[in-house]
Amino acid sequence: MKPFPSLLLLLWLGTAMGCTLNARTAHLPLAAVPARTVFGDTLSRTEEYWRQTLTPEQFFVLREKGTERPFSGQYHAHQAQGMYHCAGCGQALFSSEAKFDSGTGWPSFFTPVSAAAVRQELDTSAGVEQVEVLCRSCGGHLGHVFADGPKPTGLRYCLNSSALAFVKR
């Protein structure tokens, strides 16, 4: 007996749009997130370069994929109008127009300035599936994205202040 085409389509969609069981990232299409993809436009710098260029906290967050304590970063309650750039390479990442107060203690945005500004990877380092957000230009760790944000995207890009540099408009 041949399977119904609609059943095959449903099975394929279920696989392609596979979701994590983690409540914080439920409904994110993790199957579409590449694991450790390296893009051709990524800057190549040595660890020594980053250690000399970044502050210790920036190095911890951007290069060692650390997370700053909630409510400790300079941008979690920041209200000024402008652009948030990568603290490592200066790439424009998020506009203040997309920033919102998530109540989490980290700066949160509902969309990047462009899809080309960031990349996303599956992160299982904490024992759960999460979607890590990285600077597309230098590969620096920015934070994570969750499916509990406001309209119009429903996404919450939860970032570390140490990974960002703000330029006032």
Specify the CATH number for the domain of residue 131.
2.170.150.20
Res 137: pLDDT: 94
Instruction: Look up the domain containing 53 and give its range.
Output: 21-35+42-168
pLDDT in tens, the chain (169 residues): 444 333 333 323 332 323 232 333 334 444 443 333 343 456 778 889 999 999 999 999 999 999 999 999 999 999 999 999 999 999 999 999 999 999 999 999 999 999 999 999 999 988 999 999 999 999 999 999 999 999 999 999 999 999 999 999 8
What is the set of active-site residues? Answer: 158
Q: Is residue 121 in a domain?
A: yes
CA distances from 5 to 12, 13, 16, 18 (A): 10, 12, 16, 20
Instruction: Compute the residue count for the chain.
Output: 169
CA distances from 126 to 46, 69, 150 (A): 26, 16, 25
Model pTM score: 0.76
Q: Is residue 3 in a domain?
A: no
How many Å apart are CA 35 and CA 26, to the nearest integer?
Answer: 18
Q: Is residue 161 in a domain?
A: yes
Q: What single-letter amino acid sits at 127?
A: G
Mean pLDDT of the chain: 81
Number of domains in the chain: 1
Q: What's the CA angle centered on 135, arms 134 and 138, to 5 degrees?
A: 115
